[in-house]
Structures are given as structure tokens and as C-alpha cells.
Amino acid sequence: MHLARLRLRNFRNYARLDATFEPGFHLLLGRNAQGKTNILEAIYLLATLRSFRGVGNPDLVRFGQSGYLVAAGVVSDVTHEIRIYWSRRERQITLDGQPVRRLADFLGTFRVTVFCTEDLFLIKGTARHRRRFLDLLLTQTEPDYLAWWQRYWRALRARNALLKQAAVDATALEGFTRELVTAGQILLDRRRRLVPRVAERVQEAYHRIAGGAEEVRLRYQSTVNSDLASELARVRPRELARKVTLVGPHLDDLDILLADRPAAAFASEGQKRSLALALKMAQAEYLTEVHGVPPVLLLDDVMGELDRSRRAAFLPLLERAHQARSQVFMTATEENWPRELAPRLRRWRVESGTLTPLPDN
């Protein structure tokens, strides 16, 4: 799988960009604030329809413009054309020239894994970041998961709106509760099944990165101890008093333990960085195992932050992508680019919203 063509119009600091890429390693070189990360952000948007920086669509529009366009040709077993246009008045997503009616028909067409400074939120941030990590991985590996996730959130919003009413319609509440249970139990079962599979890969990756003997454990921490229907029945009086749904997969968390202690509270900063990197490596390896080909890897100034041993542990993942004729896009400044990869790098200069290929060394 690889990105063959990228087209940007009024996206971030790019007024206009048209570029073609071969499989392999691509190094985007430039000073800070020139647009290196913006290219990775556009590639990530093509796969997930969201920014890995956690911002909304208005922030992606070039200053002074009304909307942006991101389009690409992506190659897997077949070639697909993706086009995303957004403005405050209009949003269009097309796949092979046809409007995308259901996100489930789109997500998974192009798969990426991004490594960036925001990954630390997986360890230090709120439960929302870790739920998103699990849900994105399930969306990219189980075709029907997104539909169940959307169904759950529709029921949850309707149920919460009903609970906020002065007089709650008991019959309507029971109907929305049944819908919430049907979809919610599937989300719970899928997440619980996924966590042990990911945990094994996280443990292996952490040992390669950190070289220590500490055991890493992942534990799905749920508000549901038995089954969702029973838990909702148990907390019904409190829900009526507080006017909100109090249990369910929308409130669950992924506990990350290092030597049986919560990593967020007890791990050092170096250990937290290693754990975050191990989680994303496990994500990429799991996607590779399920689909048979690696995702496109996006490394936002990651290699420059790794010491020699951590970088050495990370290289096999890049090597597998290279052998499978996938792609790696990495950003760096002149000072911290990964010279051990030099013989195979295609280097690009990024400056003031322009992208220019550099001659091979």
C-alpha cells in the first residue's frame, strides 16, 4: 500500500501542491513552521478523515480562504482516487469519483499509522485518547465496527436527551436503552477481545525499545462489570437523578501498567515515551498482520527524539515496510535526520509551503 499522488489546494500553508511518490522512504527536510507536518496531516486525513493534531476542519483551511481540497491516488491491490473538499457551506468526500454515503464504505481504503508528539496523550492524557486508539484500530480491521459505534452514539445521544427532560417517558427510555445495550455490548466485546492481542505486541515492542525487564500490561477498564443491560438497570435511579447515562463503553478506559503500576503516575518521562512508541508500533504490526501489508507510516520528527538504542529497535518496523513496498514519510530538520537510512531515502525540501525533490546523495 502506498500514496502515489497528493494534491493540496488551500490546505494549511499550501496554496497549491501536486506531488507524486514512489514506494519507500521519504524524508521531508526543512526548518520549523515550513509545512512538513502539514503534509503528514493531509495524508492522515485521507485515511481517517481527521487531523492527528486534534483540530477541526476550519483550522485546516489556508488563512483567508473559504475551504480546502485534499486529493490523492492510493495503491493497494487496486488503485483508488480519494477527494476531500471542505468549506463552511459544503463537505464532499468521493471515492473513485462516487460520493461516499457511509463512512464504513470508506475507512480502511487507505491505512496509516502516525508517530508524533501527541502520542504521549495515550499515556498521560484522558481516557478519551485511549478509547480512540482502540476504536480506530477496530475500525481499520473489522468492517462492521464503525456502524455499531455510530449506532451506539446515536442511541446514547437520544437517551441522554430524554434523561434531561423534566418528565421522562419510561417507554421511550426503555426503547433507547435496548438499542444502547444491543450496540454497546458489541463494542465492549470487540474491545475486550482486541486488548490482549495488542498487549502482547506492546510488550514485545517495549522490550525492544527500552531493553528493560519491566512487564507492560494492558487492561480494559470498564464501567460494566457484568453485562450492560444489568448495569444500566442497576444505576437507573442515579441516572434519573443526574440526567445522564452513567455506564457504557463511552466511559471506559485502557489501563496501561508498567511493573504493575499505572504508567501515567509512576513511569518516568523516558518510559512514557517508550510506552507511547510501543503502542503505535503494536498498532502498525497488528494492521500488518490482519491485512497482510503494512500501513503507510508517518513519523513526525520522531527519529530525532530517539537515542541510539531506541532508534535501533524502531528500524525493523521501517525495514518491513520497505520490503513490502509500502511507504514511510518522516519529517526532520537538517540536524536530526536519520542518516542510517540515507542510502534508501528520497529527500524533499519543504520551505514556505512548497515541496521540492532534492538530488540523491
Residues 140 and 288 in one domain: yes
Residues 281 and 302 in one domain: no
Has residue 96 been placed in a domain? yes
**The pLDDT value given to residue 49:** 93
CA dist 347 and 333 (Å) reads 12
Residues 75 and 90 in one domain: yes
Mean pLDDT confidence for 239-259: 96
CA dist 130 and 208 (Å) reads 22
pLDDT in tens, 111-160: 999 999 889 999 999 999 999 999 999 999 998 999 999 999 999 999 99
Residues 125 and 271 in one domain: yes
**The pLDDT value given to residue 212:** 67
Has residue 320 been placed in a domain? no
Q: How many domains does the chain have?
A: 2
**The pLDDT value given to residue 34:** 94
Mean pLDDT confidence for 318-345: 78
Has residue 321 been placed in a domain? no
Residues 255 and 125 in one domain: yes
pLDDT in tens, 258-299: 999 999 999 998 889 889 999 999 999 999 999 988 999 999
Has residue 323 been placed in a domain? no
* pLDDT exceeds 90 at position 70: yes
| φ, ψ at 76 (rounded to 5°) | -130, -115
Mean pLDDT confidence for 222-251: 95
**The pLDDT value given to residue 117:** 87
* pLDDT exceeds 80 at position 81: yes
Residues 21 and 125 in one domain: no
Q: Quick one: cell of 138?
A: 477496530
Residues 66 and 146 in one domain: no
**The pLDDT value given to residue 361:** 53
Among all chains, which residue has been given the C-alpha cell 502516525? 114
Has residue 254 been placed in a domain? yes
pLDDT in tens, 170-227: 999 999 999 999 999 999 999 999 999 999 999 998 988 887 668 999 999 999 988 9
Residues 17 and 29 in one domain: yes
**The pLDDT value given to residue 342:** 67
Residues 75 and 121 in one domain: no
* pLDDT exceeds 80 at position 320: no
Has residue 236 been placed in a domain? yes
Has residue 44 been placed in a domain? yes
Name residues whose C-beta falls within 8 Å of residue 307's C-beta, 6 or more positions apart in sequence: none
Residues 120 and 74 in one domain: no
CATH code at position 55: 3.40.50.300
* pLDDT exceeds 80 at position 39: yes
Q: Which residue has the higher pLDDT, 93 or 274?
A: 93
Has residue 349 been placed in a domain? yes
Q: Quick one: cell of 52?
A: 492527528
Residues 137 and 232 in one domain: yes
Mean pLDDT of the chain: 91
Which range of residues forms the domain containing residue 40?
Answer: 1-111+297-315+328-361
Q: Which amino acid is at 215?
A: E
Distance of CA 229 to the CA centre of its chain: 30
Residues 122 and 56 in one domain: no
In the beta sheet, which residues pair with residue 67? 87
Flag the least confident range among 21-25, 28-32, 189-193, 300-304: 300-304
What whole-number percentage of the chain has pLDDT above 90? 76
β-pairing verdict for 91-95 and 98-99: antiparallel
CATH code at position 151: 1.20.1050.90
CA dist 129 and 122 (Å) reads 6
